[in-house]
Amino acid sequence: MDKKELINEVLTRSVSYIVPSRDVLERTLLSGKKLTIYMGADPTGPHLHLGHLTNFLFLKRMQNLGHKVIFLIGDFTAMIGDPTDKSATRKPLTEKDVKENMRTFKEQVSRIISFSGKSPALIKRNSEWYEKMTLKKFMKDLLGYFNVQNMRDREYFTVQWMLQRDMFKERLKRWEESQHTEGFIGLKEFIYPILQGYDGVAMNVDMEIGGNDQVFNMAIGRALRKAHVEKKNTSPDEKFFVATTLLVNPKTGKKLMNKSEGGLINLDDSPNDIFGKVMALDDDSMFAVAEHCTLLPVNRIEGLKKINPRDAKLEIAFAVVEVIYGKTKAEEAKKNWINTFSKKEMSEAKLPELKLKSKKISVLDLVLSAKTVESKSEAHRLINQGAVAIDGQTKKDPREVVEFEGGETAKIGKKNFFRIRIKRIK
C-alpha cells in the first residue's frame, strides 16, 4: 500500500467514528504532521484479550506511519474502577492486586506494537502524575473548568452531564425502585471520566483511541484538553479521538470478550489455545474476529464468507495466531488442531471411555459424569469458557441436551479427552 492507502485503512478498518471528523484527521495525516496517540487499559485483571487487540492493531498501523504511540497502564484508575457497562460499583483493587495484574502487560502488548526500532512505542502509568497531584491542582485542573468560554464544553464539567451516562441512569432508576437499597453510585467512580480524561492532558497527546463504549470518557478528555489549551492560549489544536468497533456477536450484540461471562481469548494464551478458542467460536462471530483482530485484507474476508465455514474458520484462526505469535507458531498451532480434531488418528486413538446410561444427557451432566471437576460451579465455569466440545463442536449452554450414538469424542477442559460409550441396559 502507498501512504494514502495506509491512511485510508487506518481511518476505516474497525473504526466507528472520529471526532471532530474523519476529513480533519485525514488532512492532518496527509500533511505529514506526526501525532502522539495513546490507548489506555486499566489492569483489572492479568490478561489483555482480543477485545484490546482491535485497538493495538490501530496503534500498529499508526506506528507504521511514523507516529508516536503510547500504551498507558491505568494503575491508579484501576483502583477506582471504570463504571462503563457496570450495573454496580466495582470491587476495589489494592495496589498489590494492580501491580500483579500489570506485571506482564508490556510483554503482551509488545507482540503487536514495537517498543524499539525507528518509532518505538512508550509505556506509561497514570500513577506517575496522580500520586504527585495536590488537592489544589486536582480541584483547579480537573474540576475547575465550569467557566470555560464555550457553553457546549462547559456541560462536560457538570453533575447534570455526568448523570447522562446510561449506566448511571439505570442505577438511579434501580435506586428508586429498590427504595434506596440498590443502585448506588460511588463518588470515586462518578469522577472516573475526569481522571481518565486528564491522562491525555498529562501526556500532551494529540489523539486517543478506545472502544465505542468509551466515547463518554474520551469526550470528557477532549473537553479537558480544549479547556487547558484555552487557559494557556498556547495552541489552537484540538485533540482527536477515534472510537473503534467493539468485538461483538453480530446477532446478539453481546461482547465476545467478556470477563464476567468467560470465553476470553487472551493475548498471553498459548498459540494452540488461541487457535482452538477461535475454532470454537460460533459461525456468526468469526468474521467479526477476522475483521477486527487480524491483518487479513477486507476483500479476503468477504471471500471467506462464501466458502465452507470450517475452512474459513481455519484461515481466521491462523490469522489471529499469526498476528500475535507470527507465521511459524500459527502453522504449528493449525497442524496441532488438525491432528487433534480432524485426522483419522483421533478416531482410532485409545481414549479413556466415558460411559453414559442414556443417549440423551445435558452438557452439564456430561461434564459431571467425567469426574474431572469437583463441583457444579466449576463445571459451569468450564462450559462458559468454551472448554467443552463434542466432536470439535463447542458447547456453551449447560442446559443443552445432546443425543449420542456412541463413539463421539468429548473434550472437557484443556487436556481431558473421552470416547463416549452408551451402557447397554440388560
Domain 3-244 bears CATH identifier 1.10.260.40: no
Least confident of 93-107, 231-245, 315-329: 231-245
State pLDDT tens for residues 348-392: 456 788 889 888 999 999 999 988 888 888 888 888 888 888 877
Q: What are phi and psi of 172, to 5 degrees?
A: -65, -35
Over pLDDT 70: what percentage of the chain?
A: 90
Which pLDDT score, from 0 to 100, does residue 345 have?
47
Question: How is domain 271-342 classified at the architecture level of CATH?
Answer: Orthogonal Bundle (1.10)
The cell numbers describing 105, all together, are 502487560
Q: Hey, is 237 helix, strand or coil?
A: coil
For the chain, which residues make up each domain, given as ranges? 3-244, 271-342, 348-422
User: Which CATH number does the domain 348-422 belong to among 3.10.290.10, 3.90.1150.10, 3.40.50.2300, 3.30.70.20?
Assistant: 3.10.290.10
* Helical spans, DSSP H, in 165-282: 166-177, 187-190, 192-203, 215-232, 271-279
Strand partners, 393: 390
- The pTM is what? 0.77
| 3-state SS assignment for residue 229 | helix
The single-letter code of the amino acid at 372 is T
Separation in Å, CA 149 to CA 4, 152, 200, 216, 260: 37, 9, 21, 21, 43
Q: What is the pLDDT of residues 245-274, one digit of tens each?
A: 888 877 777 777 765 545 688 999 999 889
